[in-house]
Amino acid sequence: MTRSANMIIKNGYVFDPLNDLDGEVMDLFIRDGRVVGDLRAGERRDAKVIDASGKTVMPGGVDSHAHVAGAKVNAGRLMRPEDHYRSVREKTRLTHSGSGYTIPSVYKQGYDYAAMGYTTVFEAAMPPLEARHTHEEMRATPILDMGAYLVLGNNWFIMRYLKEGEIEKAAAYAAWMLRTHKGYGIKCVNPAGVENWGWAKNVAGLDEPNIHFEVTPREVIRGLAEVNEMLGLPMSLHLHANNLGHPGNWETARDSLMIPSGLAPANRSEVDEPETKLDCRRRQTVYLAHAQFNAYGGTSWRDFCSGAPELARYLNQTEDVVIDSGSVPFGPATTMTGDGPAQHDLYVITGQKWSNTDVEMECGSGVLPFLYLKTSPVHSVQWAIGLEVLLLIDDPWKTIMTTDHPNGGVFTRYPDLIAWLMSKRARDETARECHKWAYDRSSLGGVDREISLYEVAVITRANPARTIGIAHRKGHLGPGADGDVTIYDLDPAGLDSNDPSSIRSAFGRPEYTVKDGRIVARRGEIVAVPEGRRFYTTPYVDEDQELEMMADVKEWFKYYTVGFANYPVPERYLKNPTPIAVNRPLEAVVRR
Ligand SMILES: [Zn+2]
């Protein structure tokens, strides 16, 4: 890691929700890349000083759900040359060249995130067999700290163990898989349904058993949520619900989120606890991905409408769930997901070029270009739903702002989302430009809520960090936190929600992005290119359980096309590997 100097950020309005700071004017101190309470006189003398007077200061942005590395992302790059023509980044003395708008090359992606004030990004879906490819792309991504969620919802071993009621073996397998592939947490995509896609089918409801394994979506969701808490992972189960993208699916989403209720969140990761005012450990047992795509009402595309008010009503009653929004800012997108059948449905509707992959014994995937148009009635409602899920859920600690990049839109459109959330006027202006279904078929037109800068900090930093269990060092600015800070040229005292363009431009081009106490971007320009960390978890389980499980795995491994020795991802594939030990028996911790 590059050595960082000391830094003082003076006089900024600090928004740090995990420490209950709502725009307080204060100084921040960073020593050797980490936030500290103060610097000694000698350190102060040669510290880099940034004058943040009249500016908004937040922890570095944290994206807890984006598709930024791996086989499906690269498939998208390859099948979309048209995506590259008009979005080019020139080489500079410091930076590589790059291209791609919705699916940028890895270099451009790292620079674009950093230039927008984000320092931490998690890849939302890593198929185990594609883990090497995913890590190779993350390795090449500059600046950002990263990690990846392992896709397990249609894995043959998991489905077999859950069907046989072997929950401990399922847990031992998940633990081994996370260690083997340097995965961070458990992702579950269209449970039981993607396996059926191998026979050109899907599952219709939560209680429909799939082919051969005879396991239902409900059993997979419950089983993996239990496995997650047995292992004590930093993040809860991350769920991409069944029936995604279909009218009327809000009920499936709500019923799916009810399945893990009653489980207690048990994050047993071994990390240095920070001194945050609020508890920095998650309280949810299920984290729903891209709620917008699962909050549809109606029964067909003809009577399509928003189901967000109904879904939000459930979220407002429960403490078990966090959602990310998967909002739609209009414009070009590339849809890519492990939900193979959902992508086929989209292909049937659009006739777009479409690629599909079956990842043997593990999962599936599909990729398809998409253009969200203001003139389209359905897209206009999707835009509204993507904002409703953030505005109708009262407690911002239950929500995270994303575009499910690049599914709902590209991450560089986050400033537009912030402007719509902070300004009713911005929403009304856009609603006037798009199809009238936007307000007619949703509740958005009647929503007066305009979120504050504090709430922006919750849904773009503090809560994504806490939800995925990384808030011991990300998403806040208390002592011990990583020195990741974003300074926006936005004076909270003069903030005017009737002037959305100033909000948009401030969030699009921060004055400074600081990573580990070092300025990496200045007004959109990359000025330093340090290497980020790669987080993954190493969960411990009972040795005997692990041995029994390994016997099953070795027996079945003959069906894989790769040899067992080639399956694991070696640590040298990772830049600055940063493992987080989980569930370690107490004796082992003491002996360390
Ligand atoms: Zn996603």
At residue 120, does pLDDT exceed 50? Answer: yes
pLDDT of residue 2: 44
Does residue 406 have a cis bond before it (omega within 30 degrees)? Answer: yes
Q: What is the mean pLDDT of residues 262-284?
A: 92
pLDDT of residue 586: 72
At residue 523, does pLDDT exceed 60? Answer: yes
46 within domain boundaries: no
pLDDT band at residue 272 using 50, 70 and 90 as cut-offs: confident
The Å distance, Cα 589 to ligand 1 centre, comes to 35
The Å distance, Cα 425 to ligand 1 centre, comes to 29
Q: pLDDT of 534-558, one tens digit each? A: 999 999 999 999 999 999 999 999 9
The Å distance, Cα 67 to ligand 1 centre, comes to 6
The Å distance, Cα 450 to ligand 1 centre, comes to 26
Long-range contacts of 8-11 (CB under 8 A, 24+ apart): 8/39, 8/44, 8/47, 8/48, 8/49, 8/50, 9/50, 9/52, 9/57, 9/485, 9/487, 9/514, 10/49, 10/50, 10/51, 10/52, 10/53, 11/51, 11/52, 11/53
From CA 371, how far away is CA 333, in angstroms rounded? 6
At residue 587, does pLDDT exceed 90? Answer: no
The Å distance, Cα 405 to ligand 1 centre, comes to 7
Give 368: exposed, middle or buried? Use CB within 10 Å, 0-12, 13-18, 19+.
buried
264 within domain boundaries: yes
The Å distance, Cα 53 to ligand 1 centre, comes to 38
The Å distance, Cα 404 to ligand 1 centre, comes to 5
Q: What angle do CA 517, 523, 525 make, to 5 degrees?
A: 80
Q: pLDDT of 13-34, one tens digit each? A: 999 999 999 999 999 999 999 9
The Å distance, Cα 26 to ligand 1 centre, comes to 37
Q: Which residues contact 437 (CB under 8 A, 6 or more apart)?
A: 304, 377, 378, 380, 381
Q: How far apart are the first and last CA of the chain?
A: 24
The Å distance, Cα 336 to ligand 1 centre, comes to 7
pLDDT band at residue 592 using 50, 70 and 90 as cut-offs: very low
Q: Which residues contact 104 (CB under 8 A, 6 or more apart)?
A: 87, 98, 112
The Å distance, Cα 588 to ligand 1 centre, comes to 36
Q: Are 451 and 421 in contact (CB under 8 A)?
A: yes
The Å distance, Cα 306 to ligand 1 centre, comes to 20
Closest CA to 406 of 396, 398, 414: 414
The Å distance, Cα 12 to ligand 1 centre, comes to 34
The Å distance, Cα 399 to ligand 1 centre, comes to 15
The Å distance, Cα 338 to ligand 1 centre, comes to 8
Residue at 151: amino acid letter? V
- The pTM of the full predicted model, rounded to 2 decimals, is 0.97
Give 295: exposed, middle or buried? Use CB within 10 Å, 0-12, 13-18, 19+.
buried
pLDDT of residue 275: 81
The Å distance, Cα 160 to ligand 1 centre, comes to 26
Q: Are 203 and 210 in contact (CB under 8 A)?
A: yes
541 within domain boundaries: no
Q: Are 28 and 477 in contact (CB under 8 A)?
A: yes
The Å distance, Cα 264 to ligand 1 centre, comes to 25
The residue whose two tokens read 């709430």 is 455
The Å distance, Cα 76 to ligand 1 centre, comes to 14
> SS3 of 278, please?
coil
At residue 54, does pLDDT exceed 90? Answer: yes
Token readout for 246 is 């279909």
What CATH number does the domain containing 299 carry? Answer: 3.20.20.140
Q: What is the mean pLDDT of residues 44-59?
A: 96
pLDDT of residue 144: 98
DSSP character string of 134-195: HHHHHHHS-S-EEEEEEE-TT-HHHHHHHHTT-HHHHHHHHHHHHHHHT--EEEEESTTHHH
Token readout for 159 is 């489905």
DSSP character string of 62-120: EEEEE--SSHHHHHHHHH-THHHHT-EE---SSS--EE-SSS--HHHHHHHHHHTTEEE
At residue 4, does pLDDT exceed 90? Answer: no
Q: What is the mean pLDDT of residues 227-240?
A: 98
Token readout for 581 is 């030990």
Segments forming the whole domain that contains residue 254: 58-526
The Å distance, Cα 115 to ligand 1 centre, comes to 22
At residue 109, does pLDDT exceed 60? Answer: yes
From CA 560, how far away is CA 393, in angstroms rounded? 44
Closest CA to 34 of 272, 391, 384, 301: 272
The residue whose two tokens read 């080639």 is 566
26 within domain boundaries: no
The Å distance, Cα 379 to ligand 1 centre, comes to 18
Domains held by the chain: number: 1
Q: What is the mean pLDDT of residues 257-266?
A: 96
The Å distance, Cα 4 to ligand 1 centre, comes to 34
Q: pLDDT of 74-89, one tens digit each? A: 999 999 999 999 899 9
From CA 410, how far away is CA 336, in angstroms rounded? 12
The Å distance, Cα 532 to ligand 1 centre, comes to 22
Q: Are 545 and 195 in contact (CB under 8 A)?
A: no
Provide the total of helices (H) and of strands (E) in the chain, helices listed first.
21, 26
The Å distance, Cα 202 to ligand 1 centre, comes to 19
At residue 196, does pLDDT exceed 50? Answer: yes
The Å distance, Cα 55 to ligand 1 centre, comes to 33
From CA 533, how far away is CA 531, in angstroms rounded? 7
At residue 455, does pLDDT exceed 80? Answer: yes
The Å distance, Cα 352 to ligand 1 centre, comes to 20
pLDDT of residue 589: 58
Q: Do the strands 512-515 and 305-306 form a parallel or antiparallel pair, or are they unpaired?
A: unpaired
At residue 65, does pLDDT exceed 80? Answer: yes
% of the chain residues with pLDDT over 70 = 98
Q: What is the mean pLDDT of residues 566-590?
A: 88
pLDDT of residue 284: 98
The Å distance, Cα 368 to ligand 1 centre, comes to 13
21 within domain boundaries: no
The Å distance, Cα 521 to ligand 1 centre, comes to 27
pLDDT band at residue 5 using 50, 70 and 90 as cut-offs: confident
From residue 44, how far is each of 24, 30, 103, 248, 486 by CA, in Å?
22, 10, 42, 59, 21
The Å distance, Cα 343 to ligand 1 centre, comes to 12
Q: Do the strands 305-306 and 296-297 form a parallel or antiparallel pair, or are they unpaired?
A: antiparallel
48 within domain boundaries: no
The Å distance, Cα 111 to ligand 1 centre, comes to 21
Q: pLDDT of 315-340, one tens digit each? A: 999 999 999 999 999 999 999 999 99
Average pLDDT, the chain: 96
pLDDT of residue 1: 43
193 within domain boundaries: yes
19 within domain boundaries: no
Q: Cβ–Cβ contacts within 10 Å for residue 422, how many?
A: 23
